[in-house]
Structure 1
Amino acid sequence: MNRHRYLRSSSRSKDSSISDADPREKIKDCCRKFVAFMCTQVGVGALVVCYAIIGAFGFREIESGFKDNTTHQVEEIRNRYAEELWIVAHHNNVFNSTAFFIDTNAKLKVFQNEMVDIIKKGYDGRESGQQWTFPAALMFSLSIITMIGYGNLVPKTTWGKFATVVYAVFGIPLYILYFLNMGEILAGCFKWVYTWLYQCSTKKGENKVPKRIIVPSTACLWVISAYILTGAIMFAEWEQWSYLDSAYFCVTSLCKLGLGDLVPGTTSEEGHESKLVINFIYILGGLGLVAMCFNLMREQVRVKVQEFREDFRQCLEDTRIRILDCCNRYRMEEY
């Protein structure tokens, strides 16, 4: 028996030494560890950030070389209507002011309609190379995978549109994985802090601390409100928005509505690129907080549903006992 055991152990050691010496096995083992790490909370967060950075480089490379003739088109429209207004002024002169105002209003209305159509297509006075900076492309990548979709920056090339579709197909499941994992880790950290504060605030001997402490939904609402208030003050100071507009932008972004009427860092002022990067961090962190509140509120709802189920079951049991008691009394009275 000892001999057989020795032979088995020696054969196992030989196999392990062979597998250790095999470089293919080492590569496979490293790949398994890398995939396992990427499936953790930290790995998924890093993967989302790297995916957004790769997308930013890709979209910037594709779209920055696009030659847009919209600027020349706008110049031609302005020059044409300036000439037409000059002809109107020269024809009517100052003797017929009513005809002058009627003709100029008609020309300006047509000019306004043409300019509105151009602006709706994404024209803001800048060339493609000026629009597709790295921070702008980074924010565009985040808006795709988080399904916010501001719409202030859109791809115009065929390859850019194709890359957007492929990028969204792989990026949205990755964001959902980030949403679930980050919600779990942040919920665990917040629950630990809340439990510690609860135990510190409870006097010894006054009330025994319950075994399971549930974070109330009001605490989650306070955290989200504080985060929105911080963002409202920050964007109001940077963008010279009103506090209502800043809070409106924060709420619509964290709720993934993405209306696109207010987007920070879209002007050509100095420092707008850093605002886009900070907006990227703010939105990504805020979505993690939303995931945390979702997990904590879901736990509270489960506890409430379980308590309701137990109370309802107890109510049914009491009702059954009372009905049986009444039936027994009725039978006793008959006999």
Structure 2
Amino acid sequence: MRSIKSRSVGAYSIRSKTSYGSGLSEEDKVKIIKNCCRKVLEFLFSQVGVGGVVVSYTILGALAFQAIETEESTDHILNQEVELSRLRTVQELWNITSEFNILNSKQWQTNIQSLLMNRQNEMVGYIRSGYDQLTVEERWTFPAALMFTLSVITMIGYGNMVPRTNSGKIATIIYALLGIPVYILYFMNIGKVFANTFKWTYRQLHSCTRKKPEYTSMNDDEMEKEQDQVVVVPSTACIWFLLIYVLAGTIMFAEWEGWNYLDSIYFCVTSLLKIGLGDFVPGTNFYGEDQGEMNRAKLIVNFAYLLIGMAVIAMNYYLLKADIFI
């Protein structure tokens, strides 16, 4: 009996060592990978993770569009055509002047006006083709590409920057089809986060201004629960917060861009409501030497302002809905 027991114990110990020493089985590894993927997806679709997904998606998209448009651009051909057209017009002006400036002034004026009209029509055609006196590297900077990706997924669509290559147009279609659902998910989740934060802040301020009873039989948890049920964020507070946010953007863009306050508030409202007419776009009016650096800084601030502002719009939607249907 002793020998049998010792053999069985020894066999058990040998099996256990070999099983643990050889590592996890294939099924265990698959389970671990599935759990990790599930946790990653849960975080990405959580209220905090969605914001990171949107920011990462826009950054990666900006890098991708910057690489595509700068690599396959044909702007140098268009710039050469514009320069050759200018030189040709100047030469024709000299020829007309040398021929008609003394002997036939009326014919000189007629030919000059005809030549200038043709030059004007040519420039209109070049501008419609995308000529803006900028190289593709100057146009597709990282902040500008970042604003372009944000305008695509948020459906603002300013129209001041557009892809001009076939690869860029195909990438825009794919990027919009994948990015718009991500933005809608962000809009819904971040609105709840901002709404809960605003409600908590409002209730804390309300409790500070409200006199507490000296004697009560309820504990702190019951009092807080009762307060949450009674205190509701009024619609006026939501509207005032939105107006303050729009006012801050109005002052900021008016000082930066040189716009009047009407144009600035017009830009803020049309952008936050995703109308995006494109007649006013930040980063086009500069004064001073450091125009390029100022351009990049303003576009990044505009990116943050719009991304947070749309979260404020979503917050007001949830708070006003709770106030109306309570």
What TM-score do the two structures reach when normalised by structure 2? 0.80
> Is 1:61 the counterpart of 2:67 in the alignment?
yes
SS of the aligned residue for 2:276 comes to coil
User: Which ranges in structure 1 are unaligned for 5 or more consecutive residues?
Assistant: 1-13, 304-335
Q: Secondary structure at the match of 2:171?
A: helix
C-alpha separation between the residues in 2 aligned to 1:101 and 1:302? 74
Does 2:169 correspond to 1:161? yes
Q: For residues 75-224 of structure 1, what are the structure 2 equivalents within 5 Å?
A: 75-93=83-101, 100-204=108-212, 211-224=229-242
Q: Is the 8 A contact 1:249 1:262 kept in 2?
A: yes
| Bigger mean CA offset, 93-102 vs 32-41 | 93-102
Residue 263 in structure 1 maps to residue 271 in structure 2 = no
Aligned partner (choices 52, 58, 63) of residue 52 of structure 1: 58
* Cα distance in 1 for residues equivalent to 2:102 and 2:263: 45
Contact 2:144 2:296 in 1 (8 A): yes
For these two proteins, the number of residue pairs brought into alignment is: 286
Which residue does the alignment assign to 2:218?
none
RMSD over aligned Cα atoms:
2.6
Give the residue type in structure 2 aligned to 1:187: A
Greater CA deviation, 118-127 or 147-156? 118-127
CA distance in 2, matches of 1:218, 1:20: 59
Q: Deviation of residue 233 (structure 1)? A: 1.8
Paired amino acid for 1:179: F
Q: Which has the higher contact order (CA 8 A, sep 6+)?
A: 2
CA distance 1:104–1:134, shift in 2 (3 Å): same
Q: How does 1:244-283 map to 2 (within 5 A)?
A: 244-266=262-284, 269-271=291-293, 272-283=295-306
Structure 2: gaps (5+ residues)? 1-18, 214-225
- C-alpha distance in 2, partners of 1:78/1:217? 60
Is 1:145–1:172's contact at 8 Å kept on the other side of the alignment? yes
SS state at 1:126 partner: coil
Higher mean displacement: 140-149 or 125-134: 125-134
Q: Which amino acid aligns with 1:122?
A: G
Q: 1:217 offset after TM fit, Å?
A: 2.4
* Cα pair distance change 1:232/1:141, threshold 3 Å: same
Once residues 29 and 257 of structure 1 are traced to their aligned partners in structure 2, the CA distance between those partners, rounded to angstroms, is: 42
Sequence identity percentage: 49
Partner of residue 312, structure 2: 289
